[in-house]
Amino acid sequence: MTKRERYKKIASLLEHSFPKAEFELHFESTYQLFVAIILATRCTDKLVNETTPSFFAKYPSVYELAQATEEELLRIIKSISFPETKARHIIKAAKTIVFQHGGSIPNNQAELLQITGIGQKSANTILAEGFGIPAIAVDTHIARVSQRTGLSSQTLPEKIENDLIHIIPKEKWITDSHRLILLGRYICTFRSPMCDKCPIQLYCTTRTPEKANENLLF
């Protein structure tokens, strides 16, 4: 069985298990998406979603944000991980967007990667969720599931992404990314994965018999 054939079977099972898989960060514009993505680095989507309403009430657009001070931002995002670094990055990024991009979030990877706080995963997420441009944003969940199912033996996100884009049909990059993330976030967790509840355990290369639910294999 080729990796592409293997993924086709996995994708079918994930579609059944997560039929309405969606991006879990809340946003109403590409500006809000951009901010939420920076805040979500090494932080839960739940905490970010609890923080962004007050953030956007105070900074409704990138123009207000570009004039903010780090002290002001820290009062709002103090519960977020690495608040000092993120406050600094967000303000610098906002100024770049205002002065170099006319206040609009760029819709191409090259320009996004030039913005402070935006790496390849974040850039791909903005393209996919903000503009509907097919992209695979490899986070820790996608990386873990890809490795455990044998879809990629790589460890670097960029190399895992390269493996996946050759396996997953382009029109499925966004929706299937959501399903891989949900599986990794809620079932195929880093510690104590719930193998007995995993819909794709038949295709997992690391599962142990004592954790498997044989009723799910057929």
Alpha carbon distance 185, 193 (integer Å): 10
55 near 77, Cβ under 8 Å? yes
Catalytic status, residue 45? no
Nearest residue to 25 (alpha-carbon basis) of 156, 128, 171, 172: 128
CB atoms within 10 A of CB 169: 13
CB atoms within 10 A of CB 155: 9
Burial profile 95-116: b = 16 or more Cβ within 10 angstroms, e = fewer: bbbbeebeeebbeebebbeebe
Alpha carbon distance 20, 175 (integer Å): 9
Radius of gyration, CA atoms only, the chain: 19
Catalytic status, residue 176? no
101 near 111, Cβ under 8 Å? yes
Q: Among residues 45, 86, 92, 139, which one is catalytic? A: 139
| CB half-sphere exposure, 12, CA atoms < 13 A | 7
Q: Among residues 9, 92, 121, 197, which one is catalytic? A: 121
For the chain, the straight-line distance linking the first and the last C-alpha, in angstroms and rounded, comes to 18
DSSP E strand boundaries for 22-146: none
Q: Which residues are catalytic?
A: 121, 139
